Every structure is written in structure tokens, then in C-alpha cells.
């Protein structure tokens, strides 16, 4: 009781002055959303019938990733940046969970192929480790925080209408071309000497999965403790 004409209470009970600036009437974008969905489905069908099923599959998978990323506000950049910048590790922990779940799924698929004597899928992602890995990842880490989004985050934000990430995407492409131009030099001087290490080759299939899950679990605990430490030590 006792709210005068100049103050309002929001649903959470926070008392504040009523808005003096006039609100724009909110448009309902749901019709546009439905059109967007129809577009995605239509493109998928058209691709399947013209270019081929594989391309259609990639389109659907990409759309799914984009949808999931936006719906959950998932951000790999924040997972690496926030522990330092804000003390928050909620995304770090979520990314670790993603690592764990995919470890199990990927190991199952790879092992299933292995024991059947079939070529193991996805092994092209087991790449040589060299100075180029370290320098490249370091550069990427700097870039993604400055640009306000990593590779997936940039694409997601283009879809959300961020002009800044549209610009970032263009220069990501330019940087990629430069990197490709120099790749030969990096390959000759560093990458060619770098080992490819597939953990099951070193620890066996079970050993590798267990070890990796163990490391992820320990990192999760560390992230959990870090956030608790950061929030209790901040004085407000």
C-alpha cells in the first residue's frame, strides 16, 4: 500500500518511477518467425532435391546449431572470458558438460567403426600439435573476446542482427585468407614436425575416455569453486 501516482512496483516488487518516455508498441514477430521456419524447411527440401542429401543435411544441422545457440544464449567466448573478467563460470561449466557428453558419443562412434575394421570417422580433426597450435589459439582467444564473439557466436549474432558481428565476420574471412596464404610457411617450419596424438592410441580406448572424463570432472569442480570464491570475496 502507499504507492503514489509517481511510482510503480514491478512484478518482483522493486519500486521505481513510472516510465516517462513513451514505449513503442511491441510488434509481434511470431509470423515472421513462422516464415523463417518455412524458409529453412523449404531450403532443406530444395537442396535435397537439387544439390544432394548431404548438403541438405549440413543445412539442417547448421540451422539446428544456430537455433540451439541462440535459444540458450550459449557462448564459448564467455566460457573462456568470464572466469577472468567477471568471475562467473556458468558457461565454462556448461562447455565442460558439452565436452563430456560429446566425448562419450564420439568415442562410441569411433570405437564402433574401429572394431568393425572400418575407417574411423572424424580423424581429420586429430591434428598436429606445434607452435602454430599455440600461437593460433592464443590469437583466436584475443580476437574472440575483442570482437564480442567466437566463430559460432559471430554467425549466431549475424542472425540476431548485430552490425558489429557482420563486420567481424567479414574480417574473419579476410584473416582466414591471410592465414591460408601463410599456412605453407607455418606447415614447413612448425606443423610438419608436430605430433598427432589420438588419446586412445596412448591410453587405450577405455583409458582415454576415462582419463578425459576425469580431467573434465576436475575442471568442472575447479570452475565451480572458482565462482564461489569470486562471489564471496566481492564486497558490495
Interactions with another protein, residue window 124-163 (CB under 8 A): 124-129, 132-163
Count of CA atoms in the C-beta half-sphere (13 A) of 200 = 14
Q: How far is the CB of 3 from another protein (least distance, A)?
A: 14
Q: Which is nearer to another protein, 1 or 22 (CB)?
A: 22
C-alpha cell at 40: 529453412
Tell me: does residue 189 bind another protein (CB under 8 A): no
Candidates 45, 57, 218, 221: give the one binding another protein (CB under 8 A): 57
Let me know: does 216 contact 99? Beta carbons within 8 Å: yes
Interactions with another protein, residue window 73-132 (CB under 8 A): 73-78, 80-82, 84-86, 88, 90-91, 93-95, 97-99, 101-103, 105-107, 109-110, 121-129, 132
The mark string for 209-228 relative to another protein (x by CB under 8 A, - otherwise) is: x--x--x-------------
Q: Is 7 helix (H, G, I), strand (E, B) or coil?
A: strand
Exposed, middle or buried: residue 34 (CB in 10 Å: 0-12, 13-18, 19+)? Answer: exposed
Q: What is the DSSP letter of 150?
A: -
Tell me: does residue 179 bind another protein (CB under 8 A): yes
Residues forming beta bridges with residue 8, ordered by sequence position: 16
| Distance, CA of 36 to CA of 31 (rounded, Å) | 9
Candidates 1, 2, 6, 23: give the one binding another protein (CB under 8 A): 23
Amino acid at each position: 500500500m502507499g504507492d503514489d501516482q509517481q511510482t510503480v512496483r514491478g512484478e518482483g516488487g522493486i519500486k521505481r518511477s513510472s516510465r516517462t518516455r513513451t514505449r513503442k508498441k511491441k510488434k509481434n514477430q511470431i509470423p515472421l518467425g513462422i516464415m523463417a521456419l518455412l524458409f529453412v524447411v523449404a531450403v532443406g527440401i530444395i537442396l535435397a532435391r537439387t544439390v544432394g542429401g548431404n548438403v541438405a543435411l549440413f543445412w539442417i544441422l547448421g540451422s539446428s546449431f544456430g537455433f540451439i545457440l541462440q535459444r540458450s544464449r550459449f557462448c564459448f567466448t564467455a566460457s573462456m572470458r568470464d572466469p577472468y573478467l567477471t568471475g562467473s563460470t556458468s558457461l565454462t561449466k556448461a562447455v565442460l558438460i558439452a565436452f563430456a557428453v560429446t566425448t562419450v558419443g564420439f568415442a562410441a562412434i569411433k570405437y564402433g567403426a574401429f572394431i568393425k575394421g572400418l575407417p574411423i570417422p572424424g580423424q581429420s580433426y586429430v591434428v598436429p600439435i606445434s607452435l602454430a597450435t599455440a600461437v593460433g589459439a592464443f590469437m583466436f582467444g584475443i580476437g574472440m573476446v575483442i570482437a564480442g564473439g567466437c566463430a559460432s557466436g559471430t554467425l549466431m549474432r549475424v542472425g540476431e542482427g548485430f552490425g558489429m558481428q557482420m563486420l567481424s565476420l567479414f574480417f574473419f574471412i579476410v584473416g582466414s585468407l591471410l592465414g591460408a596464404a601463410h599456412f605453407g610457411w607455418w606447415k614447413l617450419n612448425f606443423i610438419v614436425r608436430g605430433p598427432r596424438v589420438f588419446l586412445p592410441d596412448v591410453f587405450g580406448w577405455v583409458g582415454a575416455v576415462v582419463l578425459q572424463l576425469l580431467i573434465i570432472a576436475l575442471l568442472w569442480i575447479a570452475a565451480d569453486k572458482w565462482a564461489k570464491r569470486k562471489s564471496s570475496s566481492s564486497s558490495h
